[in-house]
Structure 1
Amino acid sequence: MRAVLDGLVEKRKAIAIYGLLILGGWFLGNVLKDFAVPDMRPMNEPMIHRMVMAAFVAYILLAAIPFVPGAEIGFALLLLFGGQIAVLVYLGMVGALILSFVLASLLPASFLSGALDWLALKKAAAFVADLNNARPQDRVNKLSLIFPSNTGRSLHRYRHVLLAVALNTPGNSLLGGGGGLAFIAGASRLFSFQAFVGVVVFAVAPVPFFFLVF
């Protein structure tokens, strides 16, 4: 009975923290959007360029944070400024995703496992610790512990395609947004830096390219 109660408490804690992460990301996203999309008036037009550059730096830093809807903010900037800012939005999102990936890949597995354990995600914490201790060639087999063997191998084989699709899927903020997906990719140690950059460079391109051309 005690074990059941403890399990319910842990699940409620995990759900509550997950809800707070989504709300926190939404709040930061709105703050950045209000800052990055200024009120266009004739008297403040000379300030626009300085604000855009400041917003560009803030955009990279905040969009790298999991659950912050960076793609939506970038889309708002594209709608306001059009193709003239498409390159900046593209570089900002690519930079944010790379930043999140690098930070996650540098974090020790013990920290990630401890964070998941604090979030009451006991199984995920144990899996991260176990995956880190495995040799790179054995990590595919570890995936079969949470997926059927064939599914796990397929997910690993097509992980770059799946990441590109996930980055362009509407509503991916529920999975952590672009920053969260990049963080997971870095923490998993299943993506090399070069491969991740290659995926991101092409996955982020379609929307900014559309605004730049049309």
Structure 2
Amino acid sequence: LGLGLLILLVLAYSAMIALPFVPGVELGVALMMVEGAWVAPLIWLATVTGLLAAFVVGQSIPYPALNRCLADLRLRRAGDLVARIQPLDRDQRLGLLRARLPAPLAALMVGHRYLALAALVNLPGNSILGGGGGILLLAGLTRLFRLWAVALTIALAVAPVPILVWLYDLKLDF
């Protein structure tokens, strides 16, 4: 591939992985298959960038707009939950989450929410939950996560495959 086309594909991959329910990871794997191990760091950077973009979009959606959208879709219970959490600060939201979940799950989702986020992003079949982009969009909507910590979590969570491909010059032939 030419450099211009490769850059375009990496940018498209970064945008696709940010979209909920779009299996963008396959494009990243395809690029590593076509171009080889040298492109793995670019794929890692594009993955982190795309997922962080989804998170930032989620954080920036105003709750009143989200509530109107949910009302238009007739998702009354979801809209009621959004209206309920809107005035709460982070600690109060964590308390609400802790109260609504079974105790063992609450301990994981509240006390280790960044590890849970990393696990969800790497979960095989996570496209049923919205894929990486959908998961990070929802994480942003909750306002329970700090941007710098999410950036570090995602950077580490998505690193193993590109690092292994790059360091060991693994061939992803299928």
What's the secondary structure of 1:68's corresponding residue?
Answer: coil
Deviation per CA, 1:171-213, whole angstroms, max 9, x where unpaired? 1111111111110111110100111001011001011011101
Q: Which has the larger radius of gyration?
A: 1
Note the residue ranges of structure 2 that are not aligned, 5 or more in a row.
169-174
- State the percentage of identical aligned residues: 34
Residue 41 of structure 1 corresponds to none
1:34-45 aligned at under 5 Å gives the runs none
Aligned residues: 168
Instruction: Choose from 120, 126, 134 the match for 1:166.
Output: 120
- Paired AA for residue 54 in structure 1: L
C-alpha separation in 2, matches of 1:120 and 1:144: 27
Contact 1:107 1:187 in 2 (8 A): yes
Q: TM-score, normalised by structure 1?
A: 0.73
Whether the 8 Å CA contact 1:131–1:139 is kept in 2: the answer is yes
Could you say which residue in structure 2 is the equivalent of 1:124? 78
Matched with 2:87 is: 133
Aligned: 1:212 with 2:159: no
- The equivalent residue for 1:8 is none
Asked if 1:96 is matched to 2:50, the reply is: yes
* Matching residue of 1:51: 5
Which protein has the bigger helix share?
1
Match of 2:18 in 1: 64
Select the structure with the greater relative contact order (CA < 8 A; seq sep ≥ 6).
2
- Secondary structure of 1:170 counterpart: coil
Q: TM-score, normalised by structure 2?
A: 0.89
CA RMSD of aligned residues (A): 1.6
- What are the superposed Cα offsets for residues 63-119 of structure 1, whole Å, 9 maximum, x if unpaired? 211111122221222222221110110010100011111111111011222223333
